[in-house]
Structure 1
Amino acid sequence: LAEAFIESRYADEVLAALTAVPWSTGVADNHERVFDVLRDFGQRSQSAMPEGNVEAAAAEIDAMCAGDDDLAIIERIANAQSANPWLQKAAVALASGSPLSARLITSQLRRCRGLALNAVFQAELVLSTRIIRQGEFTEGVRALLIDKDKTPRWQHSAASEVPAALIEEHFSAPWPENPLQDL
């Protein structure tokens, strides 16, 4: 995917090259011509492409996320002792974030594993709708964006205190038929 990253210093050259392309009346032909132009600039930009965070931390991530015990996964991530600054930041964010959100995220990942994309979108809509109707989201917005005191008062002080019934409630549809049923 070298053509997916093009350095901004090439912006004028990309526009000039696209302007010079002999366009055709065929959509597929024009797509191919655009890709040819972008591929060239992408290859020139390849050495400037930043390294990804996930690939460098994949083994640590896999180890922290092993198993189906949501509480153990949350605990391992929140207490991670990694030399990787990106993982350190993730550990701090999880440890200071909403315990309910941590439980919902791990549950959602487990529940949606292996589902078709349309089913994942439908599940995401259910969860999103439930989350915004619940006070935890509002509290996070208040602490971070409104009062900016950065001291949210979460409903639960630890992930282990979140009742299973509350998690289940977030995954039950608030309507008889999902609005994304026809995806």
Structure 2
Amino acid sequence: MTDQAILFTTNENGVATITLNRPKTINALTYDMLVPMKQKIQEWEQDQAIQMVILKGAGSKGFCAGGDMKALYKARQDSEILQEAEQFFAIEYQTDELVAQFSKPIVACLDGIVMGGGIGLSYGASHRIITERTKWAMPEMNIGFFPDVGAAYYLNKAPGYIGRYLALTATVLHAADVLYISGADAFIPSDRLTDLLHQIETTNWHTTNTGKQLQELLDAYTEQPKTDGTLASLQADIDRYFSFNSVEEIIDALTKDTSDFAVKTRETILSKSPVSLKVTLAQLIKGEGETLKACLETDRILAHHFMRNEDFFEGVRSVLVDKDHQPQYRYKQLADVSEELVSSFFKAY
């Protein structure tokens, strides 16, 4: 493995591979990774020698932990870095859309940690593989941000109001639950992934019905997760709590229930930034029925405003920089966040 942050390979069988290669940061995305990735995806779309793409991460920890938010923390006091941060979000969202629009199969290997920008990058892939090691989450709420990378599009596709629950709580999901929300297409044990990828790479895809044969190959490796999920059993409760269109009403519904799940969920939500909570719920409501492109455009506007919101930087400081997990937010209570403030995050600039 080289010291390059992203690797591209192709072979004579028509298989191209993108390897995110920052294992020490769980392959966190940077601008310098996204620029060549976007270019390669555009190039391979037009290249008839390329029949499919494999998308994977280097190292044993995971596919991708998301965008490198710690690196963006410096934008707080540096206007040049702030501009670079906005360029990062713009090209990240463009790349996510290109993956979703790609006309050839993309096999995304979501082994280990896949969070935030890692989900955005892989969600639009045609064949998303998870394993027993997969830890899937949109954790942006933990750092005073919002679930971006098209989350309002794909979280709204989860059954009932589970998307709102996942966004507001930053809950980490494992294999069975990822399948339940259609966040992946197949479960394959991690110890079989190497064999699967080898078989893909050594098959001549120029002389076959690519889509049909690829699906047959994946089916031969696909199993059922050995551990059951929890979301299906919580569906009715989640729908009852999260059907409201204000965070205050959600909290009130949770407060009236003394079950362990309701108590824990309420506590989790109230530990987040009030600004993030209210903007995120508004984002998900706005995203209902919208296209991925429209949701990504809203994300670009929201990211612009969050990068000028001091509570975002305080969240990053508390979790990723100083790691004291004691954020001192300017807006401390839900009541401190007005509808006018929430609306301002959605204004084009």
Shorter-chain TM-score bucket reads: 0.7 to 0.9
Q: 1:170 maps to which residue?
A: 345
> Against the structure 1 CA distance between its residues 153 and 80, is the aligned structure 2 distance closer, same or farther, given a 3 Å change threshold?
farther
Q: 1:35 maps to which residue?
A: 215
Q: Distance in 1 between matches of 2:192 and 2:342?
A: 49
- Distance apart, 1:165 and its partner CA: 1.6
User: 2:314 touches 2:329 (CA, 8 Å); kept in 1?
Assistant: yes
Q: Distance in 1 between matches of 2:298 and 2:185?
A: 33
Q: Does 1:25 align with 2:206?
A: yes
Q: Does 1:62 align with 2:239?
A: yes
Amino acid at match of 2:246: D
The TM-score, its normalising length taken from structure 1, stands at 0.76
Amino acid at match of 1:162: V
Which sections of structure 1, spanning at least 5 residues, go unmatched?
Answer: 175-183
**Quick one: which of 46, 50, 61 aligns to 2:224?**
46
Alpha-carbon RMSD: 2.8
Q: 2:300 maps to which residue?
A: 125
Q: 1:180 maps to which residue?
A: none
User: 1:78 touches 1:95 (CA, 8 Å); kept in 2?
Assistant: no
Q: Does 1:104 align with 2:279?
A: yes
The TM-score, its normalising length taken from structure 2, stands at 0.42
Q: 2:173 maps to which residue?
A: none
More helix, by proportion: 1
> Against the structure 1 CA distance between its residues 78 and 157, is the aligned structure 2 distance closer, same or farther, given a 3 Å change threshold?
farther
Q: 1:10 maps to which residue?
A: 192
User: 2:187 touches 2:225 (CA, 8 Å); kept in 1?
Assistant: no
- Distance apart, 1:81 and its partner CA: 4.1
Q: 2:326 maps to which residue?
A: 151
- Distance apart, 1:47 and its partner CA: 4.8
Which has more radius of gyration? 1
- Distance apart, 1:12 and its partner CA: 4.6
Q: Distance in 1 between matches of 2:202 and 2:314?
A: 53
- How many pairs are equivalent? 167
For residues 11-56 of structure 1, what are the alpha-carbon distances to aligned partners after superposition, in whole Å with 9 as ceiling and x for unaligned? 35424644674x3524x613322221110110xx2153x4334323
More strand, by proportion: 2
**% same residue:** 25
SS at match of 1:46: coil
> Against the structure 1 CA distance between its residues 88 and 159, is the aligned structure 2 distance closer, same or farther, given a 3 Å change threshold?
same
Q: Distance in 1 between matches of 2:316 and 2:185?
A: 37
- Distance apart, 1:159 and its partner CA: 0.7
> Against the structure 1 CA distance between its residues 151 and 163, is the aligned structure 2 distance closer, same or farther, given a 3 Å change threshold?
same
Q: Distance in 2 between matches of 1:78 and 1:133?
A: 33
